[in-house]
Chains A and B, each alone.
Chain A
């Protein structure tokens, strides 16, 4: 029965092509036999690099069935970033999706002489390549097919040799400092967590999942690989990265994961669309969204609502929420998760209020994702849920969250020092996140332990400073895309801000504010006014928090360029690298604290085609109002 059921789909030439489990199994068998013949042995590592495609996953399965260890790498990483993982793991075999990835691997080959076999999926443009060891996956597969025909028991025998404590895969963490670290996971740690997550949300083999995030990220690997194998649902690969939102609508996934920024992007596009809609539609939308905000979250949490509200919600569902969910590609979503970054309360509530069961989870590469999950009726914006099956949580004296779980990493590859730092002998994994368990048993994360600092001097001397907490609060405004906050060891908090070009550009157009591009728009006095309002709202909010009142922002400036991973300012997972930015923009940070009102800055930038140039501008610096801490009445 199951053998004929679809395992994977990929949209190609405008049509969803299906691979059944049987077809997938024989593809895996053939690739495995081919790899074996080519010399891939137990315990060896194999790099896979490319977008989500059935053959990429089949190659990972093939390597695993030989007892070899696949290492997925980020497909948009520069060649130089791949050198360390490939040499660290002594990789000789690689799977590359297309010409772009092949070029990247060939470029770094002089630094990685042991990289002897490169197999490509898409032959386009590679016809005239004459490099030793470069071959089409098709050739490998047909060689494997011949081998498998001669040795029918080979595949089953190889698989039988693998035990649950064998290493299954390795993931390199992006790492904010130093070389990336290879996180080693066993079959047991990955599958145990996959099962725990599936049980928590009662996932079945009927789920539909869209695989659109980078395969090198552990989340993608859990949602579209470990849980796929564990539950037997269907994974759908989009036609190209540009069509992911179109494909999302066509597939209508039932189980969906996205980082907060994807949810934010979708919401922004809805809001921009609504601004352009007719007056009647707009009024209907806003009226029913007010109903949704009042009624929706309570309904989702399974609390009773009044019958008029219930009736209004049904009507709203018919007229607005249903069509909206359909437009977002979320009509069929049963369980949706977000993680990786804090999510804005408004954003979170928006999705829950229109009937999307959006929840948060907590985990990392080192914990094979699932540590905490929010139960269906207890989803809140400021917590990350309760520990799931098999997990023990403890808060250390310095506020650090410690985790014990069957999904913990085996080790960092060839890095016992780093392993010993995070994995103590008593079995606790040190997450380096600061947080606490709240009254309802939910985990709440404040910041990274090492980033939590103290204000020194000034009105708030000695107060706690949680930069990420401040940054996130600001980022929740749709006009602000990225924030970098400074304040540890200083007398006040200052921030660098990136505006969201789409949202602010649209905002400017609607009020007939002309601008000549990002840099110009960023420095408009009107934009500064807009940003100041956001900063002051955050300050008002922070002043109510006894712990964090000292983290209020006293001065800010809007940066002239978007922070970019290509310029090293963000990690590949789009987290700001605060230290690096402080060095790179030293004159700006100094100017903020010296009380200047403007500062000249010139920065090197890398364009997408690899060339580099420089951007320069004189940036204005503005002050924001600080609120007196609200103290409980004595």
Chain B
């Protein structure tokens, strides 16, 4: 890990506030993400972690604040734009096409990269066919990377949960993202599946240089694989720093363990 090169700030979130009616989901949150790092967002249930990711991802529009991605500043993001800027994500409760094969699900992640039009594809004309072969190669590399060769043609709905999570990651990787947002990638997994997933996240970060922003509940995992950690509680940022710093932060300790009054 020591030889990893962490670059400049690639994603900068400033003073984000998000309200649903009278509920303050996020209040004045600022943090940044550096290129090639693994950045974790942690916090107790309802702290606003997924809301934060949804703001970056363009699913929610924050009422205040700005998000800067590689020098371009936005008051809110738009999902399409986010994807074309190279931000990919996975979902907490999976959003896969259950009836489609693993291969097709991952191929759907290549959507934005496909250039030939629907007519060319339907007729399987030369350029469309060549393009499909190219995309298939990219998908096959991901299948190899995630070690799911045995399930290439299996409908996703038939796979075990841990494998579905892997396919979800595969689809996000298919768009060759520069920044990957992972919403609880290890939720509901057993120890062995968690170890596998950790290895994949580290390998993605290492082999492709992908910047990773992840939400995770398992503290062991977070402390092991993250470079820096943001801690949220009741929509407010209460800590930010290396795992070591966060671990020793008294606010964080009281948010997780409670304090005596």
Query: A-side interface residues toward B, CB under 8 Å?
Result: 11-15, 124-125, 127-128, 130, 239-240, 242-243, 246, 607-609, 611
Contact = CB atoms under 8 A, between A and B. Distances in A.
Which secondary structure dominates where chain A touches chain B? Answer: loop
A609 B191 contact: yes
Contact of B140 (A13, A240, A242, A243): A13
B144 A13 contact: yes
B99 to A, nearest CB: 20
A128 B192 CA distance: 23
Nearest to B150: A242
A103 to B, nearest CB: 11
B207 A124 contact: yes
Given A12-B144, A240-B147, A128 B191 contact: no
B150 A246 contact: yes
Contacts of B140: 13-15
Given A13-B144, A609-B192, A128 B149 contact: no
Nearest to B192: A609
A243 B207 contact: no
Contacts of B202: 125
3 nearest A-B residue pairs (beta carbon): A242-B150, A13-B140, A243-B150
A242 B149 contact: yes
Interface residues of B, number: 23
Interface in B166-203: 191-192, 195, 199, 202-203
Contacts of A239: 149-150
Nearest to B141: A13
Contacts of B147: 240
A67 B174 CA distance: 47
Interface string B1-43: 1111000000000000000000000000000000000000000
B206 interface: yes
A243 B150 CA distance: 5
Interface string B138-167: 001101110101101000000000000000
Nearest to A608: B192
16 contacts: A12-B144, A13-B140, A13-B141, A14-B140, A124-B207, A125-B203, A125-B207, A240-B149, A240-B150, A242-B149, A243-B150, A246-B150, A607-B192, A608-B192, A609-B191, A609-B195
B199 A128 contact: no
A243 B153 CA distance: 12
B149 A125 contact: no
B78 interface: no
A267 B192 CA distance: 30
Contacts of A611: 191
Nearest to B151: A242
Nearest to B152: A14
Contacts of B192: 607-609
Contacts of A15: 140
Contacts of B203: 124-125
A11 B144 CA distance: 11
B199 A125 contact: yes
B218 interface: no
Given A242-B149, A243-B150, A128 B206 contact: yes
B144 to A, nearest CB: 6
A128 B4 contact: yes
Contacts of A243: 149-150
A239 B140 CA distance: 12
A127 B206 contact: yes
B117 to A, nearest CB: 26
Given A128-B1, A611-B191, 13 more contacts: A13-B137, A13-B144, A14-B143, A15-B140, A124-B207, A125-B199, A125-B202, A125-B203, A125-B206, A127-B206, A239-B150, A243-B149, A609-B191
Contacts of A246: 150
Contacts of B1: 128
A11 B202 CA distance: 26
Contacts of A125: 199, 202-203, 206-207
A608 B149 CA distance: 21
A142 B203 CA distance: 26
A608 B195 CA distance: 11
Which secondary structure dominates where chain B touches chain A? Answer: helix
Contacts of B2: 128
A128 B202 CA distance: 12
Name the residue among A11, A15, A130, A239 with the largest chain B CB count within 10 angstroms.
A239
Contacts of A12: 144
A14 B203 CA distance: 21
Nearest to B145: A124
Interface string B74-114: 00000000000000000000000000000000000000000
Nearest to A13: B140
Name the residue among A12, A13, A127, A243 with the largest chain B CB count within 10 angstroms.
A13
A130 B147 CA distance: 25
Nearest to B2: A128
A240 B147 CA distance: 8
Nearest to B103: A14
Nearest to A130: B3
Nearest to B137: A13
Nearest to B191: A609
Contacts of B4: 128
A240 B145 CA distance: 12
Given A13-B137, A609-B192, A609-B195, A128 B150 contact: no
Contacts of A14: 136, 140, 143, 149, 152
Nearest to A245: B150
A125 B140 CA distance: 18
A610 to B, nearest CB: 10
Contact of B3 (A11, A13, A128, A240): A128
Contacts of A127: 206-207
Nearest to A126: B206
Contacts of B207: 124-125, 127
B230 to A, nearest CB: 25
A130 B206 CA distance: 15
Nearest to B139: A14
A609 B189 CA distance: 14
Contacts of B136: 14
A606 B61 CA distance: 50
A382 to B, nearest CB: 36
Nearest to A127: B206
A125 B191 CA distance: 20
Nearest to A242: B150
Nearest to B196: A609
A492 to B, nearest CB: 42
A12 B149 CA distance: 9
A243 to B, nearest CB: 5
A211 B195 CA distance: 29
A239 B144 CA distance: 9
Nearest to B203: A125
Contacts of A13: 137, 140-141, 143-144
A608 B192 CA distance: 8
Contacts of A130: 3
Contacts of B150: 239-240, 242-243, 246
A598 to B, nearest CB: 31
A130 B2 CA distance: 11
A587 B206 CA distance: 51
Nearest to A11: B149
A550 to B, nearest CB: 46
Nearest to B206: A127
Name the residue among A14, A15, A242 with the largest chain B CB count within 10 angstroms.
A14
A611 B191 CA distance: 10
Contacts of B141: 13
